[in-house]
Amino acid sequence: MKSAHADAMPIAGGTDVMVEINLDRHRPSSIIDLTRIADLATWGIEDGMLRVGAGVTYARIIQELGDRLPGLALASRTVGSPQIRNRGTVGGNLGSASPAGDAHPPLLASGALVELASVGGSRRVPAREFFIGPKRNAMKKDELIAAFLVEPARGPQQFAKVGTRNAMVIAVCSLAVALDPERRHVGTGIGSAAPTPVTADDAERFIEGVLDEGGLWEKPVPVDAKALARFGELVAAAARPIDDVRGTAAYRRHALSVMARRTFGWAWDDYRNRVSA
Ligand X SMILES: Cc1cc2nc3c(=O)[nH]c(=O)nc-3n(C[C@H](O)[C@H](O)[C@H](O)COP(=O)(O)OP(=O)(O)OC[C@H]3O[C@@H](n4cnc5c(N)ncnc54)[C@H](O)[C@@H]3O)c2cc1C
Residues that bind ligand X (CB under 6 A): 9-17, 19, 34, 54, 78-80, 84, 87-89, 91-93, 95-96, 101-102, 144-145, 168
For residue 133, the minimal CB distance to ligand X (Å) is 14
Strand segments, DSSP code E, in 195-259 are none
Nearest CB to ligand X, comparing residues 73 and 211: 73
- Please measure the distance between the N-terminal and C-terminal CA atoms of the chain and give it in whole angstroms: 53
For residue 151, the minimal CB distance to ligand X (Å) is 22
The CA distances from residue 134 to 54, 192, 264, in Å, are: 21, 10, 27
Contact 73, 66 (CB under 8 A): yes
Nearest CB to ligand X, comparing residues 126 and 222: 126
For residue 43, the minimal CB distance to ligand X (Å) is 14
Name which of 191, 155, 186, 183 is nearest 69 in CA terms: 155
Nearest CB to ligand X, comparing residues 91 and 220: 91
Contact 128, 136 (CB under 8 A): no
Nearest CB to ligand X, comparing residues 19 and 225: 19
Instruction: Kindly report the number of other CB atoms within 10 A of residue 264's CB atom.
Output: 25
For residue 189, the minimal CB distance to ligand X (Å) is 13
